[in-house]
Each structure stands twice: as C-alpha cells, then as structure tokens.
Amino acid sequence: MIEEKDALTGKERKVTLFATKLNYRTGMAYYLVPIWDSTLNKFFYGWEDEGGSKEQKILWNALGIEKEAELPEMQVPIHHGTMLNLSSPKDKAIYCLCLINPTVARSRKSVNLDNHLFYIVDQETEDVEEVNSEMKILDAKMAIKDLGDIAKMRACAIFLGGINVNGLSLTSLQNRLFKEATIRPDDILEFFAGKNPNALLVKELAYYDIIRMRQGVYYDGEVRIGTFPEAVDFMSDPSHSETVNSLGIRLMNVKDRK
C-alpha cells in the first residue's frame, strides 16, 4: 500500500515529477500507459496492491475511466514539475502508473539518463534518508573518537581493508578512519558491533602475511584454508581448533613486534 501521509508529520504526502530531457522540460507532455506482462498475459497499472477492486475502481474512475475494459487503452499525460498529492485518488493513480513505468525513475539517485525520461522527487523521504545516512556517519565517527586504542584502531583499519597501518600514529589512524566513516559507515559500525570476529581474524592473518592468497584461496603454507567465506567458517570449526590456535599465537607474536 502506498502511504498517503508522511509517517512522521501526518501531513499529506506530496511528490513532484521532473523531466530529464529538454523537450519534456519545456512543456511537452509524456503519456503513461499500462505495462503489458507477456509472461502473465495481462496488463499492470501499479495499483494492484491498493486494496480490493472497489478501492482500485476509485483510482481509475478518478482518471476519467468509466469502464474496466477501457483501462488497457488509457494514456495519462504527465508534465515536468507536476506535483502529485497522494491523498487525491487521481494523483495517486498517476503515481501508481509512474512506479511501474520503466521510463520513470523512483528517485533522483536512481536516474539513468539512457533509460529515464522522468524521475520522482519525494522530498520528505529523501530528507529522512539523508538524515539517517548522516546519523550513521556520526555514529561511526563517535565510535572511532571514543576508541583511543591504537591496537583496536589498527584492527578497524585492517577490517575495512585498503589502509596500510604500518608506522601510522594514533592521530593519523584516527584521521584515516574518520575519512572512511564518511564513505562506508556501515562497515565501521559492523566492526564495532563485533558480531563476526572470525572475519576480522582472517583479515588480520592475511594482512600480516600469516596466511596468503593464491588464486582467490587462502593458504597457511601448503594447507588450504579456503576462499574468504570458507576461511571464516574454517576459523569457527571446532575440528580446526588446533590450527586456529596456532594461527592466533603467530598473529599475536607478529602484532607484538609492530
């Protein structure tokens, strides 16, 4: 079901349609049509999940369609800058057609200029997504700020990958991690959640050359550990506890010399 009101404010939800091509941006109408599914041998209109037949009839009646048989032939014009109030049956029907039309992108971020003639701007939703993204970045940076332990900072950098921690001071490491927090906060928060210590173990073993990769597979000398997912499972397998303990001791010895 399409939300007609903003979940936080309770206000009517409104979206705006913007054109990507000059001819549509200067006044030309674009016509939305139903989408034919050759596999299911039926037309789709976008409002299939909007309640039962009675509720759906309200939507297509609002477009001026009186008989269901007329639906496959309908053409609904949209223009650059059109604002749709999703509390209005007519506007909601147009929005439904937009959502299933392959030439209409669902957001600014998803626009592909080769395929999309229009895109939908739902400012309230975009604002919420942006706030959530900024909050993740802030959470990641706060976690790094509160760390204050160079060994754990090294571990975080190794977990992220792509950072040479050798010779970096606490401040330099923190600076690098702050930059990473703006790019991949989810990875940093995953590290601090500590839910997969074996993934960190494999990455540290590889970073310090205790295990080495050949053709996408990790080896301890000539002993096959496996691909990364296999290596993570290897570390948690009780039948490999003796090998894992040995690897852990060698890792600690290497770290102590750094």
Q: Is the pLDDT of residue 123 over 50?
A: yes
Task: Taking residues 9-25, report their average pLDDT.
Answer: 86
State how beta strands 42-44 and 212-214 pair.
Answer: unpaired
Average pLDDT over residues 194-214: 93
CA 207, CA 212: separation in Å to the nearest integer?
9
Q: Global pTM?
A: 0.62
Q: Find, among 147, 133, 146, 150, the residue nearest to 185 by Cα.
A: 133
The pLDDT of residue 8: 47
Lowest-pLDDT choice from 67-71, 124-128, 143-147, 166-170: 124-128
Residues 98 and 118 sit within 8 Å (Cβ to Cβ): yes
**pLDDT > 70: what percent of the chain?**
95
Is the confidence at residue 207, as pLDDT, over 60? Answer: yes
Contacts of 230 (CB under 8 A, 6+ apart): none
**Is the pLDDT confidence value at 76 over 70?**
yes
| 90 three-state secondary structure | helix
What does the pLDDT read at residue 209?
A: 94
Integer Cα distance of 134 and 106 in angstroms: 22
Average pLDDT, the chain: 90
Largest CA distance in the chain: 81
C-alpha closest to that of 92 among 63, 117, 70, 127: 63
Which carries the bigger pLDDT value, residue 12 or residue 135? Answer: 135
**Residue 228 Cα to chain centre, angstroms:** 23
Helix (H) or strand (E) holding 14: strand 14-19
